[in-house]
Chains A and B, each alone.
Chain A
Amino acid sequence: MTLEEGQILFREGAPGENLYVVRDGELQGKSTLGTAINTYGPGALIGELAFLKKEPYTETITATEDCELIEITPDALEESLEQEPAWFRSIISFLTGRLQIAGENKRKSDKIKALPSLLYILDSLSSRVKANEETKVSHAEVIDGVEKLFNLSKDNIEDLLKILEELEVLKILGEEIHVKNANVVHLLYESIRFRARYRKTPPQILSMTEQMVLNAVIKTVQQSTEPLKNGAFTVNTESLLKVGKRAMFGATLTLRTMLPLLERKLLNASVPLGDGAVLPEIEAIPFFFGDFDTILDLMELNRIYPLLDKKLVK
């Protein structure tokens, strides 16, 4: 068959049927999923997976000059395979499946690798317009930024945004993206960056015991009638112990369990604890204090962090 310059061989999404071999001339393939342009010259094959798997064509192919093509129909394939030994069909099917899997793995790996770029852009845009709690950033600016930084297609960026939406990190509202808590986005980005650089758990990721202690602290603060002072909370030890009994699922709240949080200044004791070698009984400390938002942000990060990897590899 021949095509004149500018003629379309097939459109993206059209049901896959024939395979084409370019004999002469040049064609270009463009997909709405990316900006890359594929060029097909003499000897090139067009539409292999669509031909073998009967899947829709993945790009629109246009002749950029007058072309001559060989059209291979599914009947021609069947006729050829009938003349080959039975095992040969298995090899074709294996190679097809392997190409498909490689494509899927590539798409998955692209998304995983693009997440830091998306968080970097979201963090940067959120910090520019940081409001009280919820921050609005332009949907188009996010897409534009990630596309320029990482060269990920719009559809894949949207998929990543949806994952973050499912994790309640943000909400997509038409032209705007509402970032629920810009600090959490920043913490998430820094945690992933730390993990990639040092190949170990980021310091922001808390142990189960630390999370249970902070959960007890949050509940105590929420039940308290004492208002926050510039975001700082104070909880008296008696109330904390009462809440701790219920909130720590059998674990006992002691200064030893609280020590890692005290050392990191997430919690502060109202009396000095020395070097921590000999700790007093928790009842000897009248109250604890700290920054409430820092604790809430950290707990939110610890909720999201383990879920994110699972969502990405799904």
Chain B
Amino acid sequence: MTSRQQLIPPTHQSVKAGFVVYSPGSEYRSIVILEEGELIAREVTPPHSVVFTMRPGDLVGVAALLEREPFKYELSASKDSKITLVTEECMESELKRLPLWLLALIRSLSAKTHLLKRAAIETRVRNTLKSLAEYLSHKSSDTEFNLAELLREFSFLTKISTTTAQEDFKSLLRRHLIKLSQKNGRVFCKIVDPELLHIFTDYIRAQETETEFAPYRLSIVQKKILVFLSAMEVSPEKTGPDWISYIHEKFPDADVSQWISLLQIQWFVKTDPKNPDCDLFKINKAKVQYFLKALRYETNIRGVL
């Protein structure tokens, strides 16, 4: 005898039209394979609608047998039919005969399907704090929002549970990115600065991808340049070489490589980005302000208050 154990054979049956092959109340589980004829699956409650019709070659009951998933329909023959029943004992004896990798493959197909079905009803969001910060960054700072309404809308958008969202609200509160107040028994939420929340989401993303958040890897010279650029009331338009000498004049440590770095972090942009021949650059005020704010509120963003 080989290492393979003996297979308990499946049962073959010929059934007349109207015969009930499986009823949800039954304790016996088996895979039903239709060899000849036709089977129909009906709802057990009125009006006993037909859910699906089986043709020769079709099978049901795999999930019920392998994963103990309930099979909730009544299965009956609509024509005289021939069926094969793979019972629990038969399947067990078959699984024992399989090479280990094939058994693992079956288990993996089952488990992955189960996971996908579960994931389809759960939230997709992995970092709920980032999601909440993003949601709130689209709210204005000059309104006091009813916290219950915010929770309801956020939960509608993301399917994140209210309990999880409440914890995340606390986390944002601890960072002073939002303010909470109470009036007439209701809690209201005020966004301190939507852009700060946006910066916070970028910071979380950098952490997720294990990259360093650009504002927190600036050199001393770059920080000095940042303060200098932010203080400039008007943004002059200059060519690259002119900017290099202008910056070098103010900060002797800054050279061409520094200019390339500043372009990479987008502190300067072309005055006409759509024109490939354009060689004039101006300060990207929005980006400079972004970096400045990220540095100014570093403790809030890092959560080390």
Report which A residues bind B (CB closer than 8 A).
19, 21, 35-36, 43, 45, 48, 70, 72, 77, 80, 83-85, 87-88, 90-92, 94-96, 98-99, 102-103, 105-106, 109-110, 113-114, 116-117, 120-121, 124-125, 145, 148-152, 193, 196-197
Q: CB-CB < 8 A to B156: which residues of A?
A: 116, 193, 196-197
Q: Which of B139-175 contact A (CB under 8 A)?
A: 152-153, 156-159
B81 to chain A, nearest CB (A): 16
Which of A92, A121, A193 is in CB contact (< 8 Å) with B138? A121
Report which B residues bind A (CB closer than 8 A).
4, 7, 10, 31, 33, 57, 59, 62-63, 84, 86, 94, 97-99, 101-102, 104-106, 108-110, 112-113, 116-117, 119-120, 124-127, 130-131, 133-135, 138, 152-153, 156-159, 201, 205, 208-209
Tell me if B105 and A149 are in contact (CB < 8 A): no
Q: CB-CB < 8 A to B120: which residues of A?
A: 102, 105-106, 109-110
B211 to chain A, nearest CB (A): 12
Tell me if B112 and A99 are in contact (CB < 8 A): yes
Task: Give bound CA distance, A36 to B33, whole Å.
Answer: 39
Tell me if B63 and A120 are in contact (CB < 8 A): no
Top 9 A-B residue pairs of the complex, sorted by shortest distance between their CB atoms: A124-B138, A148-B134, A102-B116, A95-B109, A149-B134, A102-B113, A45-B108, A109-B120, A151-B124
Closest to B35 in A: A87
Task: Give bound CA distance, A102 to B120, whole Å.
Answer: 9
Tell me if B124 and A150 are in contact (CB < 8 A): yes
A190 to chain B, nearest CB (A): 11
Q: CB-CB < 8 A to A92: which residues of B?
A: 105-106, 109
Q: CB-CB < 8 A to B94: which residues of A?
A: 84-85, 88
Closest to A91 in B: B62
Closest to A192 in B: B156
Name 19 interchain pairs, CB-CB below 8 A, sorted by A.
Answer: A19-B105, A35-B208, A45-B105, A48-B109, A80-B102, A87-B31, A91-B31, A92-B109, A98-B63, A99-B109, A102-B117, A116-B156, A116-B157, A120-B135, A120-B157, A148-B201, A149-B131, A149-B135, A197-B152
Could you say which of B59, B101, B119 has the most chain A C-beta atoms within 10 Å of its C-beta? Answer: B101
Whether A94 touches B62, Cβ cut-off 8 Å, given contacts A43-B104, A84-B94, A102-B116, is yes
Whether A150 touches B113, Cβ cut-off 8 Å, given contacts A80-B99, A197-B152, is no
Tell me if A94 and B59 are in contact (CB < 8 A): yes
B213 to chain A, nearest CB (A): 15
B261 to chain A, nearest CB (A): 22
B172 to chain A, nearest CB (A): 14
Q: CB-CB < 8 A to B208: which residues of A?
A: 35
Task: Give bound CA distance, A109 to B122, whole Å.
Answer: 11
B288 to chain A, nearest CB (A): 18
Task: Give bound CA distance, A7 to B210, whole Å.
Answer: 20
Tell me if B116 and A103 are in contact (CB < 8 A): yes
Task: Give bound CA distance, A66 to B59, whole Å.
Answer: 43
Which of B99, B113, B138 is in CB contact (< 8 Å) with A95? B113
B4 to chain A, nearest CB (A): 8
Which of A90, A102, A124 is in CB contact (< 8 Å) with B57? A90
Q: CB-CB < 8 A to B7: which residues of A?
A: 85
Tell me if B205 and A148 are in contact (CB < 8 A): yes
Closest to A45 in B: B108
Whether A152 touches B108, Cβ cut-off 8 Å, given contacts A19-B101, A80-B99, is no
Known contacts A95-B106, A125-B138, then 10 further A-B pairs from the complex at CB < 8 Å, ordered by chain A residue: A80-B98, A80-B102, A91-B86, A98-B109, A102-B113, A102-B117, A102-B120, A106-B120, A116-B157, A124-B138
